[in-house]
């Protein structure tokens, strides 16, 4: 006889879920984690799931600050907060390309309304498509799909019933990271990047961005993934770049317009390694999709079978089985198709809008099952986005939509589908948390819509602000993923990519796959400057060390690292505001810059970064 699952809160028990308090706190967390994750993704090229820190912070605020006693109210706060992060994660992979083209073409940047519509369409579709998939993937596959972050969030909230100091660890990391970021990139009393040209080893260089968020990313990823990223950086900066300097010293190689002998390491990386890395990432995305093809077909088959054979849960009498009505889902999807068709933000006809909706369902189903196995932080959204952009660009070009119009259309289409994949994966984790806790699915789904709506309203302002402050593609905001998507679309539309370097990168990715090394992390390390992968590697080493001496401390480390990421992201947004506010004929950020009067130099960078690393010992040590 099949064992019946019993949630933490039984179906016949009713306790507060959606309340004014949970909605307000959730909206604040959605804005905070959304902005912080956007900044992280634009700086580093990868994002991390905010579900666990959102659950911890919500528990700290609701239970210990406001003294409210409802685990399902905590769950709604976490649901709304993590939804904001997922919209930002999908948006920053593609939408900054529109700003980069605007700078190149001297045209108007995308309007806040257009960004909001793209984010809202993708976010709402991602939630809508997960509602009918809930029974098939969350309930029926409960034993087979663990949904790591969703299960971890449930454990965190249940542990909160017995007390704990997890929220204090997150806030400590946030405060330390915020101060550190303000000292280095605000007051500028020590540089946030150290760089060394390797003398006679021409073309080779080494360095690090000594920033807390990168250390936190490395800790969350772990030693293995961090080492793959670092290996890609070593191959690019200590192998390929010196070889280019030796064999092409006096040559001018496209796309550069000066000889290699006249370039420093950053010039070589910008003109050559970036394209090799782009080819590796693109091939890595293709390989990951090919490897998951059997899983994709299995997912779609089981999904349709589950939907067909499951009982109608939309009007079920049990609180824990009640979803938003299928009629409302159908009507809303149809209205969104009309919006995509009629609003110029996504320049497609009605057939194109329907195709976007169909592809969105496909990616939502695939994304949900994948994150159920490997977690949201490992969701291959970038690989799906590359595949979508390639298909969209080829189809648009074949139908005569080329040039600027074709490129803008391809990015808009890719943005909607990319956001759908990110939001669907996050919604799956949240619904898993609710299933384990005994939440009302319908109320969770309403919470998802609230989080998506808030993030769609704020993400445009964040993107505009960061573009005005530093510009995408700059040293402060490399926007690696968006730059890659831009290169893919331009390559299809104009055929002006240095294909030799791109194909070399694709070949490297194939070799790495043959050696059974995970392609995407390695390719990302090859694509990014080594200054990013070095502190990520150090964060992975710190986690490896604590896993050896005290495994119980690892969870506290993840919470502390999440605080480091959030703190740097928030101060990064504040510094961007300072960089655009006029004051005394200059901007406000110029007046807080102390570098000319007081500067510790590179020695200060090392000392403060070492102290930051040592801070892990204090927060991760076993407490009696």
pLDDT digit string, tens, across residues 251-306 = 888 888 889 888 989 899 888 998 898 888 778 877 876 776 676 666 556 656 65
Residues 454/30, Cβ–Cβ less than 8 Å: yes
pLDDT of residue 359: 84
Structure confidence at residue 624 (pLDDT):
47
Q: Are 439 and 320 in contact (CB under 8 A)?
A: yes
Q: What token pair was written down for 536?
A: 């990520």
**Residue 313: predicted pLDDT:** 47
pLDDT (0 to 100) of residue 233: 94
Tell me the DSSP string of 489-522. HHHHHH--S-HHHHHHHHHHHHHHHHTT--HHHH
Please tell me what DSSP assigns to residue 158: H
pLDDT, residue 140, reads 79
Least confident among 58-62, 199-203, 427-431, 441-445: 58-62
pLDDT of residue 289: 66
Residue whose token pair is 């994660």: 89
Cα 377 from Cα 380, distance rounded (Å): 9
Q: Rounded mean pLDDT of 101-122?
A: 89
Q: Is the pLDDT of residue 246 over 50?
A: yes
What distance in Å separates the CA atoms of residue 437 and residue 73, rounded to the nearest whole number? 11
Mean pLDDT score of the chain: 84
What pLDDT score was predicted for residue 115? 92
- The pair of structure tokens assigned to 417 is 């589908």
Give pLDDT tens digits for 572-606.
Answer: 888 888 888 887 778 888 888 888 888 899 999 99
Residue given tokens 């530093």 in the structure block: 470
Query: Which tens digit of pLDDT belongs to each residue from 215-231?
Result: 988 888 889 989 998 99
pLDDT of residue 187: 93
**452 phi, psi to nearest 5 deg:** -65, -45
- With a cut of 90, say whether residue 49 has pLDDT above it: no
pLDDT for residue 538 is more than 90: yes
Residue 66's pLDDT is 74
Q: Are 432 and 151 in contact (CB under 8 A)?
A: yes
- Residue 346 is given by DSSP the state S
Q: In 293-402, where does DSSP find H-type helix?
A: 293-309, 326-342, 350-374, 381-398
379, two tokens? 């969701």
- Our CA angle for 385, 390, 391, nearest 5°, is 100
The burial of 12, by beta-carbon neighbours within 10 Å (0-12 exposed, 13-18 middle, 19 or more buried), is given as exposed
Mean pLDDT of 17-36: 89
Query: Judging by beta carbons within 10 Å of its beta carbon (0-12, 13-18, 19+), is residue 243 exposed, middle or buried?
Result: exposed
Instruction: Return the higher-pLDDT residue of 516 and 47.
Output: 516
Reduced to 3 states (helix: H, G, I; strand: E, B; else coil), residue 378 is helix
pLDDT classification of 383: cutoffs 50, 70, 90: low
How far apart CA 230 and CA 517 sit, in angstroms, is: 13
DSSP letter at 273?
I
Phi and psi for 586 in degrees, rounded to 5?
Answer: -125, -155
Which of 15-24, 129-138, 500-509 has the lowest average pLDDT? 129-138
* Average pLDDT estimate for 27-41: 86
Task: Output the six-digit token pair for 498.
Answer: 């240095």
Q: Summarize pLDDT for 389-439 with one digit per residue, the tens.
A: 877 888 888 888 888 888 988 998 889 988 998 899 889 989 999 999 999
Q: 226-230, 307-311, 375-379, 440-444: which range is least confident on average?
A: 307-311
Please, are residues 52 and 156 in contact by the beta-carbon 8 Å criterion? yes
Cα distances (Å, whole numbers) of residue 329 to 125, 141, 279, 324, 348: 9, 23, 39, 7, 23
The residue behind tokens 């602000």 is 465
Question: Directed axis angle between helix 326-342 and helix 350-374, to 10°?
Answer: 120
- Per-residue pLDDT at 300: 59
Mean pLDDT of 125-147: 84
Question: pLDDT digits over 542-570, tens only?
Answer: 999 988 887 777 878 888 887 888 788 88
Res. 514: pLDDT tops 90 = yes
Can you give the pLDDT at residue 298?
A: 66
* Tens digits of residue pLDDT in 300-346: 566 566 555 554 444 556 888 888 988 899 899 999 999 999 988 88
For residues 496-511, give the mean pLDDT.
89
Mean pLDDT, rounded, for 24-32? 89
């Amino acid at each position: 006889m099949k064992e019946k699952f019993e949630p933490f809160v039984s179906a016949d028990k009713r306790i507060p879920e959606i309340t004014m308090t949970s909605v307000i706190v959730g909206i604040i967390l959605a804005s905070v984690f959304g902005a912080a994750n956007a900044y992280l993704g634009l700086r580093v090229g990868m994002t991390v799931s905010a579900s666990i820190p959102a659950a911890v912070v919500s528990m700290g605020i609701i239970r210990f600050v406001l003294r409210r006693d409802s685990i399902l109210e905590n769950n709604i706060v976490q649901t709304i907060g993590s939804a904001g992060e997922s919209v930002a994660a999908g948006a920053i992979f593609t939408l900054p390309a529109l700003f980069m083209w605007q700078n190149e073409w001297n045209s108007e940047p995308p309007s806040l309304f257009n960004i909001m519509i793209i984010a809202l369409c993708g976010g709402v579709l991602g939630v809508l498509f997960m509602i009918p998939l809930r029974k098939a993937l969350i309930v029926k596959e409960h034993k087979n799909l663990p949904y790591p972050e969703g299960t971890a969030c449930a454990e965190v909230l249940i542990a909160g019933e017995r007390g704990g100091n997890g929220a204090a660890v997150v806030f400590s990391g946030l405060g330390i990271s915020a101060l550190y970021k303000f000292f280095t990139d605000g007051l500028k009393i020590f540089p946030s990047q150290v760089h060394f040209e390797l003398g006679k080893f021409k073309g080779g260089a080494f360095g690090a961005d000594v920033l807390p968020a990168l250390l936190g990313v490395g800790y969350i990823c772990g030693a293995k993934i961090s080492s793959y990223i670092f290996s890609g950086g070593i191959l690019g900066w200590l192998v390929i770049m010196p070889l280019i300097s030796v064999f092409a010293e006096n040559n001018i190689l496209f796309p550069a317009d000066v000889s290699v002998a006249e370039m420093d390491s950053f010039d070589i990386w910008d003109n050559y390694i970036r394209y090799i890395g782009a080819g590796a990432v693109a091939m890595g995305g293709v390989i990951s999709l090919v490897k998951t093809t059997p899983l994709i077909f299995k997912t779609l088959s089981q999904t349709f079978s589950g939907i067909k054979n499951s009982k109608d849960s939309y009007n079920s009498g049990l609180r824990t089985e009640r979803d938003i009505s299928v009629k409302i889902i159908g009507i809303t999807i149809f209205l969104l198709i009309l919006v995509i068709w009629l609003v110029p933000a996504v320049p497609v006809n009605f057939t194109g809008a329907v195709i976007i909706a169909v592809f969105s369902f496909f990616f939502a189903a695939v994304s949900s099952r994948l994150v159920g196995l490997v977690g949201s932080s490992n969701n291959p959204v970038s690989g799906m986005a590359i595949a979508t952009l390639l298909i969209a660009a080829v189809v648009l070009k074949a139908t005569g939509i080329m040039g600027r119009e074709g490129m803008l259309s391809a990015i808009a289409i890719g943005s909607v589908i990319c956001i759908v994949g990110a939001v669907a994966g996050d919604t799956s984790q949240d619904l898993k948390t609710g299933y384990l806790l005994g939440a009302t699915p319908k109320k969770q789904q309403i919470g998802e819509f609230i989080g998506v709506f808030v993030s769609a309203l704020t993400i445009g302002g964040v993107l505009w602000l960061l573009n005005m402050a530093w510009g995408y593609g700059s040293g402060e905001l490399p926007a690696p993923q968006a730059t890659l998507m831009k290169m893919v679309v331009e390559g299809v539309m104009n055929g002006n990519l240095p294909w030799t370097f791109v194909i070399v990168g694709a070949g490297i990715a194939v070799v790495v796959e043959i050696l059974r090394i995970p392609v995407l992390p390695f390719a990302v390390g090859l694509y990014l400057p080594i200054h990013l992968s070095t502190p990520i590697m150090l964060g992975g080493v710190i986690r490896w060390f604590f896993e050896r001496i005290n495994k119980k401390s690892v969870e506290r480390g993840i919470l502390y690292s999440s605080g480091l990421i959030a703190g740097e992201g928030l101060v990064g947004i504040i510094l961007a505001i300072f960089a655009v506010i006029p004051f005394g004929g200059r901007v406000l950020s110029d007046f807080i810059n102390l570098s000319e009067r007081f500067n510790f130099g590179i020695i200060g960078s090392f000392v403060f970064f070492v102290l930051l690393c040592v801070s892990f010992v204090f927060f991760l040590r076993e407490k009696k």
